[in-house]
Amino acid sequence: MKPWTNVVCLCCTLVLVACAPKTRTYEKTVTASVPASSNTTLARAARRLGDPKDGRSGVRLINDGEQALVSRLLLAAAAEQTIDAQYYLLHNDPTGHLFAASLLQAADRGVRVRLLVDDMDTSSYDAMTAALDHHENIEIRLFNPFWRDQSLVIAGLTDFKRINRRMHNKSMTADNTFTIVGGRNIGAEYFLAREEMNYADLDVLAAGPVVTDVSTSFDAYWNSEFAVPARAVIEDPKEFTLSDARDRLNELVEDAKKTEYGAALRRSAEENFAHGALSLDWVPAKLYADPPSKAAGVEGSDPILASQLLPYFENAENEVHIVSAYFVPRNKGVKWMTELENRGVDVKVVTNSLASNDVAPVYAHYAKKRRALLRGGVELYELRPDAYQVQRRGINWGQSRSGLHSKAFAVDDRYLFVGSFNWDPRSVNINTEMGILIDSPTLTVQTLGALDEALPAYTYEVTLENAGQLKWRTQGEDGSILEYDSEPTGSAWDHIVAGFLSILPIGSQL
């Protein structure tokens, strides 16, 4: 090796050593969820909605984006003791402002608020986070944080194994009495509030014993080594105080109320929740969640979510329906689904098309497996990008694109799972996930019926001809069947990019 090469190698080594992850020290208090009281407004509401006999929980599916946001805001408004919220993303946009304002208003009433957010996308509102964290009734923790005194490039080089693992869980629990668990982050596109693109998504509103399970899981994450107090990550911006944050949020909320979307939220609240219109189905329901130790990348004593769910598929007798925004079956997954088909279990998958998928590498690596899946007997449906032209409640988004963000599956017209879990290697092996499994033939058949009714007009059914040619079939506006010999969505550039990404060895990270 030449002398100058030795010098370069030595310099690079010294730089990496100097930039290696530091040992961080900070104070953190262990806290726990507060047992539900029978005297709160929400407790009385839960009793009016039914009686949790035989350990059953009350559940209600939330398909509509506006209703999903209204549900969260109403829970915050009704809370009297505690709010625990755990999210992968909390956007700095009008819906994020409404959500943050609802938490602040609850804290002002004396409600203890614990907010746990993955640190993937929080830096744009560090000042607001730090200010709200000064409230005596609010504590904010960041999961697996990106330390602000270290650049992302250096972090990627020296600490990739840690920062690659994210908390994808999504839940909000009020007074340990009602909870919302599902696929939605806090952001405009998840609540039908964006003009450019909106996501079809699914949540579960629940009461009863399953709420305690959600709170127990939240406590485990909140008190884990990966949940770091915001004040230990973010420098205190003394020029932006709690009072400033309150004034700013009030201003942003007033602006949001004046919009068409704000009016739509008010109508949604009146139509769906006024006069006792809310109802729950009381059924067996169970929370399944990854242990927070999964974020360490080591196998712990607690099983990961994927292994907990596997028995439901192994015992399937008739059919399996999978709805997954990000669907990346590896060779093992293709073989597993083919084996289900071979023993008489029909497998149907609904996922994103090229144009409706917001993560190009995910689509590229899914597309590589289409022929193998179809040869194995699996039915494939891809969401059309024009599937959700929103023209209701006085709002017209015109050419707003659609995307699928739901994560759900059903087994044998009996079990229905709704949560944050995608059918991809990242959800299985890397990120932490959660969801509620509902044991209800009535609710499951009802949900699948609505899905099957929507598939012809809102998706492309992908089929395989004898010669190995893929075809895409959908229903036109007049009810006629339209068939395409080549992928009907996406630009030429989209196809070029997808083709390039499909050859990159990144499947295990998707």
CA atoms of 313 and 332, how far apart (whole Å): 15
Query: Which 8-state DSSP code applies to residue 274?
Result: G
Alpha-carbon gap, residue 137 to 103, rounded angstroms:
10
Cα–Cα nearest to 28, from 178, 118, 143: 143
- Cβ pair 391, 405 in contact under 8 A: no
Is 244 an annotated catalytic residue?
no
From 93, 126, 133, 175, active-site residue: 175
Active site residue 332: no
Catalytic residue among 168, 294, 365, 369: 168
Catalytic member of 91, 170, 321, 369? 170
Among 91, 294, 348, 407, the one annotated catalytic: 407
CB count within 10 Å of CB 121 equals 16
Q: Find the catalytic residue in 412, 413, 439, 494.
A: 412
The answer to whether 175 is a known catalytic residue is yes
CA distance 156 to 401: 33
* CA gap 368, 322 in Å, rounded: 18
Crossing angle, helix 65-78 and helix 94-108, to 10 degrees?
20
Q: Quick count: other Cβ atoms within 10 Å of Cβ 489? A: 20
Amino acid at residue number 294: K
Residue 91 known to be catalytic? no
Do the beta carbons of residue 15 and residue 156 sit within 8 Å?
no
Catalytic residue (choose from 91, 97, 369, 405)? 405
Kindly report the number of other CB atoms within 10 A of residue 449's CB atom.
Answer: 11
Token pair of 223, please? 């008190």
Provide the annotated active-site residues.
168, 170, 175, 405, 407, 412
